[in-house]
Amino acid sequence: MAKDKKKQPRPKAETPKGFRDYFGADVTERKVMLDRIAEIYHRHGFDPLETSAVETVEALGKFLPDVDRPNAGVFAWQEEAVPGGGSGDWLALRYDLTAPLARVAAQFRNDLPMPYRRFAMGPVWRNEKPGPGRFRQFYQCDADTVGSASVAADAEICAMLANALEAVGIARGDYIVRINNRKVLNGVLETAGVAEDQSDDVLRQIDKFDKVGRDGVSALLTSGRKDESGAFIDGVGLSETQAAPILAFMTAKGDDNAATTENLRVAVGNSEIGTEGVDELTQIAAMLKVMGIDEDRVVIDPSVVRGLGYYTGPVFEAELTFEILDDKGRKRQFGSVAGGGRYDGLVERFTGQKVPATGISIGVDRLLAALRAKGLAGAETSGPVVVTVMDRDRMADYQAMAAELRAAGIRAEVYLGNPKNFGNQLKYADKRGAPVAIIQGADEAVRGVVQVKDLVLGAKIAAEASLDEWKSQPAQTEVPRNGLVAEVRRILG
Amino acid sequence: MAKDKKKQPRPKAETPKGFRDYFGADVTERKVMLDRIAEIYHRHGFDPLETSAVETVEALGKFLPDVDRPNAGVFAWQEEAVPGGGSGDWLALRYDLTAPLARVAAQFRNDLPMPYRRFAMGPVWRNEKPGPGRFRQFYQCDADTVGSASVAADAEICAMLANALEAVGIARGDYIVRINNRKVLNGVLETAGVAEDQSDDVLRQIDKFDKVGRDGVSALLTSGRKDESGAFIDGVGLSETQAAPILAFMTAKGDDNAATTENLRVAVGNSEIGTEGVDELTQIAAMLKVMGIDEDRVVIDPSVVRGLGYYTGPVFEAELTFEILDDKGRKRQFGSVAGGGRYDGLVERFTGQKVPATGISIGVDRLLAALRAKGLAGAETSGPVVVTVMDRDRMADYQAMAAELRAAGIRAEVYLGNPKNFGNQLKYADKRGAPVAIIQGADEAVRGVVQVKDLVLGAKIAAEASLDEWKSQPAQTEVPRNGLVAEVRRILG
């Protein structure tokens, strides 16, 4: 079994490049956040779905027949060949939660309630070059409604998103969910007489609105402009008349939803698809209103451009509006934490049938970072009460103390390392973030008492303090053995 | 982008062989169970750890230099070659939670508190032939203490396991945690004068104790025996004198721990390692006693043989003792749901240093199956209140009703499919397991009332009933619109 063991070099103890581990509070804080979101999704009638992490490459839709390995962007491998059969299937780790939903919606289409509301939370994997803060495994948190063409589904998703953000602790006023509609843009392009093969170009320029402003986009849509470096950027070549409704669309946001949709109605002119899009936004606005979701939480905003190239109807984006300090200490808005919209091709690849769907995806790591920045991440910061070991032979007594504390609902543990060096035990308690340490030497045992040390109060004591110095601290109280739980409770408040 | 799209056959909407999806209650029930276990582990001072799903094959320790692909038992693939560098690393999905713990304990040995108590819950992957009920992705739930040689760590793990089983709903008396010790067996083998190269053989025969009983094992250890088919099975070739202490070991369980350890002390004779093992069990028994864990929960039991070949000290097994009906309707004991023990080689592969560790692993699927068999799985069985749509134009009104119910903490949703066929809406409510349906047609809207339908009471109504038949049912109540929430609350109890 162990042959040649000595000859083999030791393996490196490292996570693969681009992967990481999550310890303690990292795990707990994310769990607390996702549990709160799940509670909201559940209350809105969404059911949890946990698909397998592994899919066939065929089902994922990443199959590239012209390469040996279809692993562009995904982690893929080939199954063993079936004896006597052909070559094995290519399998891959899911790269998002939408592709598995598509597969599930097709595979179980006769069993699932339809419309099917589902939420999913879990890791996804991307075979990309890792970078600072960019990992090849990360969490997604999605909610989608499959099989409903009604904009009521879109309104519900947006209301639910706003409720979820508040449930995790983002205050009203610190976030905004914005809604746009691809159909409105299509109508505007139709009215402007933009050719179909130009529309991707136009979308690219619209996307620069945040950077170059209204006049910049105007130039880029028409004859072009000089950028900051002085280089000339060619325009799309639209006339001013063509550009006008596009600019009107982008700047259509009024004082309220009614004003915005009126502006949009002008921008789309006589376009049928555009009018349909404006009607949809109007309906969504009306539904949000009766659902008690005010415009300071969810609002129609045609300046939302992200996702317009991908989605086919309403498009959503949730942004956190408070400022944080970036790496360089500069103030900046936190920005987007969720996005989504309506898409129709979900199961078509599998069944040939168009099934309407709409959904939202929360950026789990970004939202968690926001909560941390605001001190809202919610998990405890304190470690367990540590029962120290003064007398190795009385380990059972120390275990009994920890058991009593746990029975009272208090997190507690006995020091299980080598007890010889008491300083090491204090260092350990410090590393564990312990709020309280329990000490009982031979003399205390004889006298039927324990020392209860408030480590938060006594935080300034150096870990190297001698036992005598330690004992003289005011943060330490001697109580009768049967008063242990009460004293710890008192200190923990 | 879409070139040749039409020529490609449609992908199959299927999970890969041996993988499955988890829907609704499947997800929730497991989550409820694991949350309860996590709460207990946390209270005992264990910290959550979530390692990446992907490890280097080297770190997993499955690297087989004589094969092209080191994927025996694991899902593995090779990273792209680094340009100008060598070939890429082999990566693999973790096959358990212990190998990643070993890697973490080595990688972060200077940062982790030591001893390090951690728990981990999550999927693992096995590249094995799938079978009925055997999947290639499944959950594990582990707790381990790394870096403590003290049997206090073992006692704590066993007490914690008992507490965890009760926390998920297994009643005291319906489970037993049994403890044995490999050192005791080693001592018995030493006293019996069993050669080292015979000990694996002896372990194999001991393992048949449940099947062939004391006399069967006695024969197998000595001159052999005829099995049921009449075939003769060779014995290990020990003398009766050699077999005696081994049989004494296996049958050492007395009326209480004190009697058991006394029997073991006789069985190990003068063996030093054996005496050490008996001392350890004696200490564990003493600690459990002061921790308030009685012998009807955790007990010394030398008949536990599973794991004796793998572990180096104390060995644990948790068994559910109640009877369930198997697939063929026969009564049988539920059996083992968790196992573990002490092992020393955890990080040695990486650092060359022996680090003592002890831990337990709960069989998540088996424990969940046990809870289901006892009706203890804990998740709600009821779906959301379904607000039906009688009048497509008043979708906003229906959304408002659902929003009101949710604000009152009641799970609710509006029917979002095509509302034309009311029967379909009722079928949908049935599929959702809805306890209540809300109905408001045009006349009810004018009169300011809603119909609240108790679907549990009215379960016998066929889904095809006409609206008139439906309305005549006693399970349906008309209430003022502003009494909606109160009436739903009344029905939900």
Question: pLDDT, tens digit, for every residue of A328-370?
Answer: 888 888 889 999 999 988 889 899 999 999 999 999 999 999 9
Residue A329, both tokens? 């200490």
A406 touches chain B (CB under 8 A): yes
Output the pLDDT for position B462. Answer: 54
Output the pLDDT for position B67. Answer: 47
Q: What is the mean pLDDT of chain A?
A: 90
State the complex-level ipTM.
0.90
Which residues in chain B touch residue A19, judged by CB atoms under 8 angstroms apart?
52, 54
Which residues in chain B touch residue A414, judged by CB atoms under 8 angstroms apart?
152, 156
Q: Round to whole Å and give the CA distance between A283 and A150.
A: 10
Which residues in chain B touch residue A413, judged by CB atoms under 8 angstroms apart?
44-45, 117
Which residues in chain A touch residue B403, judged by CB atoms under 8 angstroms apart?
159, 290-292
Q: Which residue, among B4, B6, B15, B30, would best test binding to A if mutated, counting the most A CBs under 10 Å from its CB?
A: B15
Range name among A180-194, A225-239, A384-398, B428-442 with the lowest pLDDT average: A225-239
Contacts of B136 (CB under 8 A, 6+ apart): A54, B16, B17, B18, B19, B75, B125, B126, B127, B128, B130
**Facing B44 at nearest CB: one of A28, A115, A413:** A413
Q: Round to whole Å and give the CA distance between B358 and B157.
A: 8
Given a cut of 80, is residue B81 above it in pLDDT?
no
Q: How confident is the model at residue B2 (pLDDT cuts 50, 70, 90)?
A: very low
CB contact under 8 A, A414 and B137: no
Output the pLDDT for position A305. Answer: 82
Q: How confident is the model at residue A7 (pLDDT cuts 50, 70, 90)?
A: low
Residue A153: closest C-alpha in chain B: B416
Q: Please report where in the chains the tokens 């008491």 appear, as a residue.
A: A422
Given a cut of 70, is residue A472 above it in pLDDT?
no
What percentage of chain B reaches a pLDDT higher than 90?
70
**Topology of the domain covering A385-492:** Rossmann fold (3.40.50)
Which residues in chain A touch residue B21, judged by CB atoms under 8 angstroms apart?
49-52, 100, 104, 108
Q: With contact defined as beta carbons under 8 Å apart, do A157 and A284 qualify?
A: no
Q: With contact defined as beta carbons under 8 Å apart, do B309 and A1 qualify?
A: no
CA distances from B211 to B214, B215, B239, B316, B471 (A): 9, 11, 22, 20, 63
Q: Is B140 annotated as a binding residue?
A: yes
Q: With contact defined as beta carbons under 8 Å apart, do B194 and B242 qualify?
A: yes
**Facing A59 at nearest CB: one of B11, B117, B125:** B11
CB contact under 8 A, A77 and B61: no
Contacts of B152 (CB under 8 A, 6+ apart): A395, A398, A399, A414, A416, B283, B287
- H or E segment and range at residue B118: strand B116-125
Q: Round to whole Å and give the CA distance between B476 and A332.
A: 56
Output the pLDDT for position A488. Answer: 96
Contacts of B410 (CB under 8 A, 6+ apart): A43, B385, B485, B488, B489, B492
Given a cut of 60, is residue A5 above it in pLDDT?
no
CA distances from A392 to A133, A343, A415, A420, B314 (A): 45, 66, 11, 8, 19
Residue A87, both tokens? 């070559």
Q: Please report where in the chains the tokens 């799938």 appear, as a residue.
A: B130
Q: With contact defined as beta carbons under 8 Å apart, do B406 and A43 qualify?
A: yes
**One-letter amino acid of A210:** D
**Facing B152 at nearest CB: one of A19, A49, A416:** A416
Q: Which CATH number fits domain A25-47+95-115+124-194+238-373: 3.30.230.10, 3.30.930.10, 3.90.1150.10, 3.40.50.2300?
A: 3.30.930.10
Helices B199-206 + B240-250 axis angle, to 10: 50
CB contact under 8 A, A291 and B400: yes
How would DSSP label each residue in B283-314?
Answer: HHHHHHHHTT--TTTEEE-TT--TTTTT-SSE
Q: How confident is the model at residue B168 (pLDDT cuts 50, 70, 90)?
A: very high
A91 touches chain B (CB under 8 A): yes
Q: What is the pLDDT of residues B244-275, one digit of tens each?
A: 999 999 999 999 999 999 999 999 999 999 99
Q: Which residues of A are annotated as a binding site for L-histidine?
A: 96-98, 126, 140, 144, 306, 310-311
B44 touches chain A (CB under 8 A): yes
B145 touches chain A (CB under 8 A): yes
Dihedral-angle region of residue A213 (phi above 0 means left; psi in -120 to 50 means alpha; beta otherwise): left
CB contact under 8 A, A16 and B54: yes
Q: Is B306 annotated as a binding residue?
A: yes
Q: H helices of A88-181, where? A: 98-107, 151-167
CB contact under 8 A, B137 and A113: no
As a dihedral over the C-alpha atoms of residue A124, residue A126, residue A131, residue A135, rounded to 10 degrees, the angle is 20
Q: Which residue, among A52, A280, A421, would best test binding to B if mutated, counting the most B CBs under 10 Å from its CB?
A: A52
Given a cut of 60, is residue A268 above it in pLDDT?
yes
Which residues in chain B touch residue A197, judged by CB atoms under 8 angstroms apart?
none
CA distances from B459 to B381, B430, B434, B475 (A): 15, 9, 10, 9
Range name among A39-53, B90-104, B203-217, B258-272 with the lowest pLDDT average: B203-217
Helices B240-250 + B182-192 axis angle, to 10: 160
Average pLDDT on A251-264 reads 96
Kindly report the CATH number that applies to the domain delimited by B25-53+96-194+238-373. 3.30.930.10
Q: With contact defined as beta carbons under 8 Å apart, do A209 and A250 qualify?
A: yes
Output the pLDDT for position B242. Answer: 92
**Facing A44 at nearest CB: one of B79, B386, B406:** B406
Looking at the DSSP assignment, which residues form a beta bridge with residue B345?
Answer: B355
Given a cut of 50, is residue B320 above it in pLDDT?
yes
CA A99 to chain CA centroid, Å, is: 18
Output the pLDDT for position A140. Answer: 95
Residue A418: closest C-alpha in chain B: B148
A417 touches chain B (CB under 8 A): yes
Output the pLDDT for position B460. Answer: 60
Domain ranges of chain A: 25-47+95-115+124-194+238-373, 54-93, 385-492
Establish, for the pair of chains A and B, how many residue pairs have beta carbons separated by less than 8 Å.
Answer: 291
Calculate how close chain A gets to B362, using CA atoms only, in Å: 20
Closest alpha carbon to B191 in B267, B78, B93, B252: B267
Output the pLDDT for position A380. Answer: 64
Output the pLDDT for position B197. Answer: 87
B407 touches chain A (CB under 8 A): yes
Cis peptide before B115 (omega within 30 of 0): yes
Q: How confident is the model at residue A467 (pLDDT cuts 50, 70, 90)?
A: low
Phi, psi of A486 (to 5 degrees): -60, -40
Output the pLDDT for position B458. Answer: 78
B1 touches chain A (CB under 8 A): no
Given a cut of 60, is residue A387 above it in pLDDT?
yes
Q: DSSP assignment, residue A382?
A: -
Which residues in chain B touch residue A17, judged by CB atoms under 8 angstroms apart?
89
Q: How confident is the model at residue B326 (pLDDT cuts 50, 70, 90)?
A: confident
Which residues in chain A touch residue B286, judged by CB atoms under 8 angstroms apart?
396
Phi, psi of A437 (to 5 degrees): -120, 145
CB contact under 8 A, B16 and A56: yes
As a dihedral over the C-alpha atoms of residue A269, residue A270, residue A276, residue A279, rounded to 10 degrees, the angle is 50
Q: What is the pLDDT of residues A68-122, one digit of tens each?
A: 554 568 999 998 876 776 778 899 999 999 999 999 999 999 999 999 999 999 9
Average pLDDT on B234-238 reads 90
Output the pLDDT for position A13. Answer: 94
Q: Round to whole Å and give the CA distance between B166 and B320.
A: 11
- Determine how many CB atoms are found less than 10 A away from the CB of residue B363: 19
Output the pLDDT for position A8. Answer: 67
In chain A, which among 384-403 make CB contacts under 8 A with chain B? 384, 386, 395-400, 402-403
Looking at the DSSP assignment, which residues form a beta bridge with residue B339?
Answer: B317, B361
Range name among A367-381, B121-135, B475-489 with the lowest pLDDT average: A367-381
Q: What is the pLDDT of residues A275-313, one digit of tens each?
A: 999 999 999 999 999 999 999 999 999 988 888 888 999
